Structure 1
Amino acid sequence: MTAGTPKPLLPIAGRPFLDILIEEIARQGVRRFLLLAAFEADRIARFAAALPDRLGRRITVEVATEPAPAGTGGALAHARDRLDPVFFLFNGDSWFDQPLASLRAALARTPRALGVLALRRLSGAGRYGTVEMEGASVTAFRPAGGPQPGPCLVNAGVYLFRREMVSRCPAAGALEHDTLPGLAADGLLAGVSSDAYFIDIGVPEDYARAQHEIEARRRKPALFLDRDGVINEDRGYVATRDRFAFMPGAPEAIRDANEAGCYVFVVTNQAGIGHGYYGAADFHRLMDVIQDELLAVGGHIDDVRFCPDHPEAALEPYRRQSDWRKPAPGMILDLLRHWPVDAANSLMIGDRLSDIEAAAAAGIRGVLFQTGRLDDVLRPFLAGRPARLAGSAGGQP
């Protein structure tokens, strides 16, 4: 199967695995991707060029092609000049459903560390090497195959690094063997562990399991939010940062929903675009600002739908009836088509009856929010949610 196809491009339920992985990463606020490629790099480049439109996301996807296969550490060294000062690194053939906010918080708590590893707790190591920790610090790596009875931690292939660590990467070599152990020995690595769902498609039986398991694991309830009057104060056609102010409890509510394992979606009428008060680019810029401010407190918005249309819009292209404009349910229905949402256990919060009517038309429960704190309104809904579901790794329970 991989004779002519890079493993991350193998299909999972009809989609390239890397499609799903990048979608999972992008929904948590990452907007720029750099794919480190060697084998079939031209095919990777074609995949990268088409991905933003296919996912319908405002992301950039670039490719760094090694002049010769250099291993996981060498690939990173080769891409040194294209990395951000702080960057995530992901294995392209595994998925760990650990919130990226936990790695951001861990790096902030450990200013001396050059990186944070996401670690999966297992009842036994199986085919994986193990990781040892003291407190919050990673202290050692043990190879697979040794005596490793009982509970252990394994490297899940998700990292957050400061760019300075790349100076420790060889021109050719493996990150896991040639770089990480030295960083751990010098006390420069932190770790965060969890029981979140993990799968590595690197062996045939787990690749087969991924065909039905991944989409089932991605199915979860969603919190749909109106924007103006719910996330931010409704000051009339808000399109710039200087006019934006969060509603009380809004960042906390979004973070709480993320941590409970819910999608968070924004569905907002934006007739100000149709009236010519601001443009779609202004809307997107402000949404990027909102996302960045949420990331700073550990929250994120997974996806956004907006409707610029209005029957009396000043600009002719937007002067129309639209099944996206609330109280019509089009924006919610589009999100339900795009994401594996558990609609029966989802919730819409809006500040107008049109929001509640749109939710009802889409088969979603609605709650009217006009006073108080948004996190207080959300709390009863989250109280009925089970904890984030644990998963399996390499056949281990």
Structure 2
Amino acid sequence: MTPRQVVCLVGGRGSRLGPLTDFIPKPLLPVGGRPFLDYLIHEAQRFGFDQLLLLAGYNSDEFVRRYSGRRGGGLTIEVVAEAAPAGTAGALLNAASILQPTFFLINGDSFFDFNWLNLLRALDRDDWTMQAALASGVSGARYGRVETAGGRISKFLPKGVSHLPVNAGIYLVRRRLLERIRTMPCSLEDDILPSLAAKGELLGYPARGAFIDIGVPHDFNRGQQAMPQYMRRPAAFLDRDGVINHDDNYVHRPEQVRWIDGALDAIRWLNDEGYYVFVVTNQAGVARGFYSEDDVNSLHAWMQTELRRSGAHIDSFEYCPYHPEGTLEQYRRTSELRKPGPGMLRKLQKDWDTEVAGSFMIGDRDIDMQAAAAAGVAGYKFPGGNLLDFVRARVPARRRSPAAG
């Protein structure tokens, strides 16, 4: 079973930011017009997680007040407040009773824009306890660096070495890590990670993407403009039947799905390259009474689960249940959502911060191309074959990341 839990370390005060954190914990400071933590919550929602645990220390009441019990995008947030400073590893021990067997762990004061789900590829092996995402191509002398050998972190190096990747503060963790925490307080960075590396139990996954740590004034100030820019990206709008799965006459149950060759790999490639990925699909079968909206949503949830197993995800599924000749009265109408209308694409452009330049639609019918033109994005008509090959021949790589394959 793939992990559904994200644990976020938000316990530190952030003393290097001076008076900014006298009353507000560092992850709650406003960056680009919103609390920095909200960007991380957005990422956890995008990647399909069910639960976010905030491990709070300094001024934990603020996390409880703002986030405890909050739900959105399928994600539920819980706050675990420590009674006394426990350190970044000790905070995990305090939450031991609710940690899942495998979970994601993230720092609450840094952001790395890469496809988290690529870390899941290591789950078919049992020769590691943690896997760390490594940000490649990061400049600056303030970061410590890591050496890797054979896909494992072999050594942590002091600040000043610039050509090696940095630990990006995103991890896939097996719960057995807790057995290594024997004293309190305990630091993940100082006490646990070097020991795991020495024993060969710490994998390193290098990727390219925007990275920022707001822990010092210079980068906190840089983040005011950088973070909104990171959130704004081009989008891939994909038709469903005929592009992702074969169009086998009103597909609405998992057992009916036949994936298009290369579809899962194409979606993961788009994820890795930093595109938002949306599905926009006409579902006239609802209007004709062949199946219900619940059936559509259940199928999309199943598809998302299958995609996650391959390290891929869809950021949002949009569908139009209406048809002007529908047999069910409540769905019998003309709708701007129905392609060739651009309604679904425009809704996603409004709900998500997308760049029109660089965005595109892939469909297998003329109505898809018409919807793309009306929404102001490029349109690529898919004739069949391997979707990954089709995408890579037309869509520019944005990151040229090692993760992109």
Counterpart residue identity of residue 145, structure 2:
T
Q: C-alpha deviations, 1:294-321, integer Å up to 9, x for none?
A: 2233322222222223334455544433
2:380 maps to 1:367: yes
Match of 1:60 among 49, 57, 76: 76
2:130 maps to 1:115: yes
Task: Answer yes or no: is the 8 Å Cα contact 1:77–1:167 preserved in 2.
Answer: no
2:346 maps to 1:327: no
Task: Answer yes or no: is the 8 Å Cα contact 1:197–1:389 preserved in 2.
Answer: no
Q: C-alpha deviations, 1:240-291, integer Å up to 9, x for none?
A: 2111121222112212222333221111122334445444343333222212
**What fraction of aligned residue pairs are identical, expressed as a percent?**
45
Q: Which runs of 5+ in 1 are unaligned?
A: 391-397
Query: 1:78 maps to what in 2?
Result: 94
Query: 1:154 maps to what in 2?
Result: 166
Query: 1:26 maps to what in 2?
Result: 45
Task: For residue 21 of structure 2, give the secondary structure of its aligned residue in structure 1.
Answer: coil
Task: Answer yes or no: is the 8 Å Cα contact 2:144–2:161 preserved in 1.
Answer: no
Counterpart residue identity of residue 211, structure 2:
F
Residues 1-397 of structure 1: pairs in structure 2 closer than 5 A: 1-48=20-67, 52-53=71-72, 57-105=73-121, 107-108=122-123, 111-121=126-136, 126-142=141-157, 148-170=160-182, 171-382=184-395, 384-388=396-400
Of 23-32 and 286-295, more deviation after overlay is shown by 23-32
What is the alpha-carbon distance in structure 1 between the residues aligned to residue 315 and residue 24 of structure 2?
A: 30
Q: CA deviation at 1:125?
A: 6.2
What is the alpha-carbon distance in structure 2 between the residues aligned to residue 309 and residue 17 of structure 1?
A: 39
**Judging changes above 3 Å, is the alpha-carbon distance between structure 1 residues 283 and 132 closer, same or farther for their aligned structure 2 residues?**
same
Of 210-219 and 111-120, more deviation after overlay is shown by 210-219
Q: Which runs of 5+ in 2 are unaligned?
A: 1-19
Q: C-alpha deviations, 1:153-184, integer Å up to 9, x for none?
A: 43211111111112223453221122222222
Of 63-72 and 180-189, more deviation after overlay is shown by 63-72
What is the alpha-carbon distance in structure 2 between the residues aligned to residue 116 and residue 366 of structure 1?
A: 38
What is the alpha-carbon distance in structure 2 between the residues aligned to residue 157 and residue 243 of structure 1?
A: 40
Task: For residue 5 of structure 1, give the secondary structure of its aligned residue in structure 2.
Answer: coil
Counterpart residue identity of residue 349, structure 2:
L
RMSD: 2.7
Q: C-alpha deviations, 1:312-366, integer Å up to 9, x for none?
A: 4455544433322222212111211233323222211112222222111111122
What is the alpha-carbon distance in structure 1 between the residues aligned to residue 400 and residue 151 of structure 2?
A: 22
Task: Answer yes or no: is the 8 Å Cα contact 2:213–2:220 preserved in 1.
Answer: yes
Q: CA deviation at 1:122?
A: 5.8
Task: Answer yes or no: is the 8 Å Cα contact 2:114–2:274 preserved in 1.
Answer: no
**Judging changes above 3 Å, is the alpha-carbon distance between structure 1 residues 389 and 255 closer, same or farther for their aligned structure 2 residues?**
closer
Q: C-alpha deviations, 1:52-92, integer Å up to 9, x for none?
A: 44xxx222323223333322112111222322222111101
Task: For residue 73 of structure 1, give the secondary structure of its aligned residue in structure 2.
Answer: helix
Task: For residue 85 of structure 2, give the secondary structure of its aligned residue in structure 1.
Answer: coil
**Judging changes above 3 Å, is the alpha-carbon distance between structure 1 residues 124 and 269 closer, same or farther for their aligned structure 2 residues?**
closer
Q: CA deviation at 1:34?
A: 1.9
What is the alpha-carbon distance in structure 1 between the residues aligned to residue 324 and residue 264 of structure 2?
A: 33
